[in-house]
Amino acid sequence: MPAIRKTIDEAEIQRQIELCSRIRAMKNTDGQAGLALVDTYGCQQNEADSEKIRGYLAEMGYGFTQDEFAADIIVVNTCAVREHAEMRVLGNVGALNHTKKAKPEQIICVCGCMVQQEHMTEKIRRSYPIVDLVFGPHELWRFPELLLRVIEKHGRVFATEKDEGAVAENIPLRRDGKVKAWLSIMYGCNNFCTYCIVPYVRGRERSRQPEDILREAEQLVAEGYKDITLLGQNVNSYGKDLDREIDFADLIRMINAIPGEFLIRFMTSHPKDATEKLFRTMAECEKCAHHLHLPVQSGNDRILRAMNRNYDHAAYLKKLETARRLMPDLVVTTDIIVGFPGETEEEFEDTIRLCEQVRYDAMFTFIYSKRNGTPAASMPDPYSREEKQRHFDRLTETANRISGEKHREYEGKSLRVLVDGETGREEYNLSSRTNGGRLVHLKGDPSLIGQFVDVQITASNTWALYGEMKNG
Ligand code: SAH
Ligand code: SF4
Ligand code: F3S
């Protein structure tokens, strides 16, 4: 049964864009084209949101800077996934005291997941008086209206109402690079893993209509983007909330049919919803990268149950086996949490065992961080930070060793890679990615950025491969 899916009227977004023109006109009266700085924390979803914030700011006539003393407006787009992310944000917002003292008319905005939590909004209200505007992810579409309120009233504005979230199309976007692009296909999360704050701050799953996604993908290809990453907290549940028959595999097929040479990537894929149909589609669609980021979180069934992940380690391994049978060259990466409340030595050993079995190309490992308001926050957590750290170090060592071994297997092989940027180093001045997303350093002319080239891998380490361009 499709949930009630709220969309923001196109006329509303149009009105926001008109408000941008009003702000632009107001600024022009004192002859200053202002500068903006957008500082982004957290996941790719937040990067994609920051592109919309920059899109609006550009409509308002702002140029962009990295220098916080030069900026007339600073937008800090925050993350709440772990305590560490929040501490970094608060530290950096606190440091803006200096810039605001030097430039009292500077406007400071804090937005994103962190401020969608009531206790954080309160903290900013009380302890960070330099912050002029606070808005949660659900209010991003009306950033111009909120900013105008700050400018006109010279007062503080807080917009962080509890909301399930909506879908807003046609917000102007300003992307960073010219080679790789993020493309949000859905927002929110319904999974409520017991450790995770995301469903509380990002609202319920909402899919964009396939026509809107396809239009954006076509435009990206026409603009020359070569690497398109489809984004969602769980892309495998794409379409479930739409009142039509479409799933994520169908969407990949539609995007794959766009003419041109480019790669389709996606993240993240929840193991419980990863289907053979998806793997088959990945194998059959020539533009779909053979990379699967399939976060396992733990290799122990009791912990997986306590996390509310809805699969056990055997089901996970079986899915991977199917995927690898269909795509023998599949690159597999994962996320793992160490030190979930009550995780014992033996339970941790199951995670190590699973990693040795799967042999991940890369692993993103985290120490469990207690998040207020989640079910895991009230579970007994008897193990010390030191014990968790010890497990974490052991897992990292395992991860690094396996990555190094996997990378060594590439040596001597020939591959097609996409050159995506410069490294700033003389030897190996270019960076590129394999189809599976592994980093390859190369030496070559910067004009190759944005092109697919054939390389031979000559060396490797834990983090990267090194290659030589083939002649001709
Ligand atoms: N939607 C994605 C993950 C988003 S968060 C998915 O389900 O795969 C990215 C990663 O952060 C998660 O996969 C998890 O490993 C980690 N994470 C989330 N909450 C955490 C917490 N409270 N403590 C430590 N790590 C956490
Ligand atoms: Fe968090 Fe789980 Fe949703 Fe991922 S699937 S965002 S880990 S609740
Ligand atoms: Fe962080 Fe929000 Fe992403 S909590 S990980 S920025 S969805």
Q: Which pair of structure tokens corresponds to residue 240?
A: 């479930």
pLDDT at residue 411, as a whole number: 98
Q: In a 10 Å sphere around its CB, with 0-12 CB exposed, 13-18 middle and 19+ buried, how is residue 387 labelled?
A: middle
Close Cβ partners of 300 (under 8 Å, ≥ 6 residues apart): 313, 343, 347, 348, 350, 351
Residue 384 within a domain: yes
Beta-strand ranges (E) seen in 278-339 are 291-293, 331-338
Q: Which residues line ligand 1 (CB under 6 A)?
A: 81-82, 195-196, 198, 233-234, 268, 270, 295, 297, 335, 337, 366, 368-369, 371
Query: Ligand 3 mean position to 138 CA, how many Å?
Result: 13
* Whether 350 contacts 397, CB under 8 Å: no
Indicate the residue among 130, 159, 188 that finishes a domain.
159
pLDDT at residue 1, as a whole number: 46
Query: Ligand 3 mean position to 202 CA, how many Å?
Result: 8
CA dihedral 144, 149, 151, 153 (to 10 degrees): 180
Indicate the residue among 259, 289, 319 that finishes a domain.
289
Cα 111–chain centre separation? 16
CATH of the domain at 145: 3.40.50.12160
Residue 171 within a domain: no
Amino acid letter, residue 41:
Y
- Please tell me whether residues 320 and 380 are part of one structural domain: yes
pLDDT at residue 3, as a whole number: 55
Residue 425 within a domain: yes
Which of 44, 187, 193, 371 to probe ligand 2 with, by most ligand atoms within 8 A of CB? 193
CATH of the domain at 299: 3.30.750.200
- Please tell me whether residues 26 and 132 are part of one structural domain: yes
Residue 5 within a domain: no
Q: Which atom of ligand 3 is nearest to the CA of 233?
A: 7
Residue 134 within a domain: yes
The range of the structural domain enclosing residue 41 comes to: 10-159
- Please tell me whether residues 387 and 346 are part of one structural domain: yes
DSSP lists the bridge partners of residue 158 as: 134
- Please tell me whether residues 145 and 61 are part of one structural domain: yes
Protein residue closest via CA to atom 3 of ligand 3: 43
Residue 443 within a domain: yes
Query: Ligand 3 mean position to 406 CA, how many Å?
Result: 30
Q: Which ligand is nearest to the CA of 310?
A: 2
Q: Is the CB of 76 under 6 A from ligand 3?
A: no
Give kind and range of the element (H or E) at residue 307. none
pLDDT at residue 143, as a whole number: 98
Query: Ligand 1 mean position to 81 CA, how many Å?
Result: 7
CATH of the domain at 442: 2.40.50.140
Residue whose C-alpha is closest to residue 66's, from 97, 95, 30, 40: 40
- Please tell me whether residues 98 and 143 are part of one structural domain: yes
pLDDT at residue 164, as a whole number: 87
Expressed in percent and rounded to 5, the helix, strand and coil fractions of the chain are: 40, 20, 40
CATH of the domain at 258: 3.30.750.210
Residue whose C-alpha is closest to residue 261's, from 286, 284, 279: 286
- In the DSSP assignment, the letter for residue 426 is S
- Please tell me whether residues 182 and 155 are part of one structural domain: no
Number of domains in the chain: 4
Close Cβ partners of 425 (under 8 Å, ≥ 6 residues apart): none
- Please tell me whether residues 405 and 298 are part of one structural domain: yes
Tens-binned pLDDT, residue by residue, of the chain (472 aa): 455 678 999 999 999 999 999 999 887 655 566 999 999 999 999 999 999 999 999 999 999 999 999 999 999 999 999 999 999 999 999 999 999 999 999 999 999 999 999 999 999 999 999 999 999 999 999 999 999 999 998 789 999 988 888 999 999 999 988 999 999 999 999 999 999 999 999 999 999 999 999 999 999 999 999 999 999 999 999 999 999 999 999 999 999 999 999 999 999 999 999 999 999 999 999 999 999 999 999 999 999 999 999 999 999 999 999 999 999 999 999 999 999 999 999 999 999 999 999 999 999 999 999 999 999 999 999 999 999 999 999 999 999 999 999 999 999 999 999 999 999 998 999 999 999 999 999 999 999 999 999 999 999 999 999 999 986 5
- Residue count of the chain: 472
- Please tell me whether residues 330 and 196 are part of one structural domain: no
pLDDT at residue 154, as a whole number: 73
Which of 198, 235, 270, 364 to probe ligand 2 with, by most ligand atoms within 8 A of CB? 198
- Please tell me whether residues 299 and 278 are part of one structural domain: no
pLDDT at residue 5, as a whole number: 72
Residue 387 within a domain: yes
Query: DSSP for 240-291?
Result: TTSSSS--HHHHHHHHHTSSSS-EEEEE---GGG--HHHHHHHHH-TTB-SE
Residue 459 within a domain: yes
pLDDT at residue 155, as a whole number: 86
- Please tell me whether residues 285 and 149 are part of one structural domain: no
- Please tell me whether residues 376 and 330 are part of one structural domain: yes
Q: Which ligand is nearest to the CA of 81?
A: 3
Protein residue closest via CA to atom 2 of ligand 2: 193
Indicate the residue among 226, 260, 289 that finishes a domain.
289
- Please tell me whether residues 206 and 230 are part of one structural domain: yes
Protein residue closest via CA to atom 5 of ligand 2: 191
Protein residue closest via CA to atom 1 of ligand 2: 196
